[in-house]
């Protein structure tokens, strides 16, 4: 199943999926019985499928699943579900993310993004405040993305955490560095982060995926993901 040259090598995508899965299962957070995942979010989707295949009873609504799409009230149903309090956890990204947890999906420069235009706010302005738990996720960890103050606030909220390609931040009125991915250091994160955050004297390393997690990711999770994210599956787990 897995291309031989990849066997044994843990990809960044696999690591991030496991990080997100552990945050989903965080016993200190309110339970995530129903999670919604957007179209362009294969890693959060993999994390959710991992949680499911680990045996947890969590309902997943994949927004762009082509077959078996659970929404029969049209595309407003996700937002109505959230308004009803039936979505416990959502993932958001941002062209810019700042230290107050604000995200910017509008763009940089003069409104509405005359310097660099991002796609737009999607449902973030609603979901971020209405859904109890939000995990911010952005692979690119740079001063371009993680800024002192976003140029425009698409949505404001209090995330559970911010997961990047370099580290995990937890949030409680401001960000605190929680763990460093393998190969990163307090300095590499500091150098690439535009906003101020708390950094404890000792920052643990993000735990690597367990053998069980890897097997699930490369087996049943991959199978579930194939229809919705074929390109992602090919890139991370090779052909067939």
Partner 1 sequence: MTQSVLSLDDLAAGVPDGALLALPPDNSLPPSALVRALVRRGVRGLRLLGVPVSGMVTDLLIGAGCVASVQSSAVSLGEAGTAPRFTAALAAGSIEMIDATCPAIHTMLQAAEKGVPFMPLRGVLGSDLLAHRPDWRVIDNPFDHDDPILLLPALSPDVAAFHAVLADAHGNVWVGRRRELATLAHAAKRTLVTVERIVADSLLDDERMAPGTIAATYIEAIAVVEHGAWPIALLDEYEADSAHIAEYARLARSDAGFRAYLDSHVFARSAAAAE
152 scored as a contact of partner 1 (CB under 8 A): yes
91 scored as a contact of partner 1 (CB under 8 A): no
226 scored as a contact of partner 1 (CB under 8 A): no
Task: Kindly identify the residues of this chain, within the stretch 179-198, that bind partner 1 according to CB under 8 A.
Answer: none
Work out how close the CB of 5 gets to partner 1 at its nearest, in angstroms, rounded to a whole number: 26
- Label residue 202 exposed, middle or buried (CB < 10 Å: 0-12, 13-18, 19+): exposed
**Contact yes or no for 217/225 (Cβ under 8 A):** no
Work out how close the CB of 206 gets to partner 1 at its nearest, in angstroms, rounded to a whole number: 28
Work out how close the CB of 81 gets to partner 1 at its nearest, in angstroms, rounded to a whole number: 7
Work out how close the CB of 187 gets to partner 1 at its nearest, in angstroms, rounded to a whole number: 33
User: 105, 161, 163, 177: which one contacts partner 1 (CB under 8 A)?
Assistant: 105
Tell me how far apart the alpha carbons of residues 55 and 96 are, in angstroms, rounded to a whole number. Answer: 35
User: 1, 3, 39, 223: which one contacts partner 1 (CB under 8 A)?
Assistant: 39
- Residue carrying the six token digits 């929404």: 71
73 scored as a contact of partner 1 (CB under 8 A): yes
| H-run or E-run covering 32 | none
115 vs 187, beta carbon nearer partner 1: 115
Reading phi first (left if > 0) and then psi (alpha if -120 to 50, else beta), residue 45 is in alpha
Question: How many positions of this chain bind partner 1 (CB under 8 A)?
Answer: 54
Within 10 Å of residue 8's Cβ, how many Cβ atoms?
Answer: 8
Residue 53 has phi, psi (to 5 degrees) of -75, -20
95 scored as a contact of partner 1 (CB under 8 A): no
User: 75, 185, 205, 215: which one contacts partner 1 (CB under 8 A)?
Assistant: 75
166 scored as a contact of partner 1 (CB under 8 A): no
**Gyration radius (Cα) of the chain, Å:** 18
Task: Kindly identify the residues of this chain, within the stretch 107-126, that bind partner 1 according to CB under 8 A.
Answer: 107, 111-114, 117, 119-126
Q: What six digits make up the tokens of 187?
A: 């300095």
157 scored as a contact of partner 1 (CB under 8 A): yes
Tell me how far apart the alpha carbons of residues 128 and 190 are, in angstroms, rounded to a whole number. Answer: 26
Tell me how far apart the alpha carbons of residues 16 and 14 are, in angstroms, rounded to a whole number. Answer: 5
The string over 167-181, giving b where at least 16 C-beta atoms fall within 10 Å of a residue's C-beta and e elsewhere, is bbbbbeeebbbbbbb
Residues at the contact surface with partner 1, assessed by CB under 8 A: 34, 39-40, 57, 59, 61, 64, 66-76, 79-86, 102, 105-107, 111-114, 117, 119-130, 152-157, 231
């Amino acid at each position: 199943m897995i291309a031989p040259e990849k066997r044994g090598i843990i990809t960044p995508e696999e690591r991030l999926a496991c990080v997100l899965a552990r945050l989903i299962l965080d016993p200190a957070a309110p339970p995530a019985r129903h999670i919604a995942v957007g179209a362009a979010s294969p890693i959060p989707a993999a994390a959710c499928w991992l949680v499911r295949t680990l045996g947890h009873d969590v309902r997943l609504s994949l927004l762009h699943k082509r077959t078996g799409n659970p929404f029969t009230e049209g595309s407003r149903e996700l937002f109505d579900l959230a308004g009803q309090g039936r979505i416990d956890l959502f993932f958001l990204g941002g062209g810019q993310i700042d230290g107050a947890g604000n995200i910017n999906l509008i763009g940089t420069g003069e409104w509405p993004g005359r310097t660099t235009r991002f796609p737009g706010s999607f449902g973030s302005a609603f979901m971020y405040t209405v859904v109890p738990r939000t995990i911010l996720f952005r692979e690119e960890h740079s001063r371009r993305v993680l800024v002192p103050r976003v140029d425009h606030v698409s949505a404001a909220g209090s995330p559970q955490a911010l997961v990047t390609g370099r580290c995990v931040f937890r949030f409680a009125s401001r960000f605190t560095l929680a763990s460093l991915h393998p190969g990163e250091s307090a300095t590499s994160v500091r150098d690439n982060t535009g906003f101020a955050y708390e950094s404890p004297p000792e920052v643990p390393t993000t735990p690597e995926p367990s053998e069980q997690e890897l097997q699930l990711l490369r087996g049943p999770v991959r199978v579930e993901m194939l229809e919705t994210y074929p390109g992602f599956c090919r890139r991370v787990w090779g052909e067939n």
